[in-house]
Amino acid sequence: MKSVAVYLGSAPGCKEVYKGLAYELGSRIARAGLTLVYGGAAVGTMGALADGAREAGGEVVGVFPKGFRGTREVRESGLEVVQQGLSRFIETADFAERKQVMEDLSDACIVMPGSFGTLDELFTYACNRAIDLHAKPILVFNFEGYYDPLKQLLANMQEAGFLKPVMAGAVTFCDTIEEIFYYLCA
């Protein structure tokens, strides 16, 4: 294992603990000698993740869609969206290319709390695994049950016969960062 893609929100979330967890995860990734591959933003939990990895001396690769300047709220606030001082910064044509580059550069993915974009990235990674484009681990950080509804949805899909048990097992839900690293380093 050399690098890990982390998918998470660009928003900070309504609890400060989300940014703290992102920072801690970034730091742990760096201390484990892994390269962090993430969406390249300086805001929200994405920024905290990158800060944690950089401050622990890790290699951080940001992958960012060219010309994107954040949500309207972020643009109006005047915040800088793009993270500065990364080990490597890759601009892509759009979000679809960004997902592909992040998947190509990573040996596994971790999914933290997020929104539509995070789920899109998770499902793209999982779909590509389902059609045998890769066999990389997919670890979902289910902090305080955040992804319990997703667990239930996957169970419903399996029960209805749309999701094969082998694919349902391709997504591993982890309740703690320690559990993530147990599976990541297994």
Per residue in 65-80, pLDDT tens? 886 665 556 455 554 5
Which residue's entry shows tokens 């893609």?
A: 5
Domain count, the chain: 1
Residue 16 scores a pLDDT above 90? no
Distance CA 68, CA 103 (A): 20
Which one has a higher pLDDT value, 147 or 167? 147
Question: 3-state DSSP call for residue 148?
Answer: helix
Give the range of the structural domain holding residue 55, as residue numbers without chain letter.
3-184
> Which CATH number belongs to the domain containing residue 20 in this structure?
3.40.50.450
The average pLDDT across 107-119 equals 96
* pLDDT of 176 over the 80 cut: yes
pTM of the model: 0.91
Least confident of 29-33, 81-85, 122-126, 182-186: 81-85
Percent of the chain with pLDDT over 90: 73
Burial of 1 from C-beta contacts in 10 A (0-12 / 13-18 / 19+): middle
User: For 36-62, how does the pLDDT look when each residue is reduced to its tens digit (9 = 90+)?
Assistant: 999 988 888 999 999 999 999 999 999
Please give the pLDDT value at position 73.
Answer: 60
Output the pLDDT for position 11: 78
The per-residue b/e assignment along 100-132, b for 16 or more CB within 10 angstroms, e otherwise, is: ebbbebbbbbbbbbbeebbeebbebbbeebeee
Separation CA 54–CA 40 (nearest Å): 13
Q: What is the pLDDT of residues 22-40, one digit of tens each?
A: 999 999 999 999 999 999 8
pLDDT of residue 56: 97
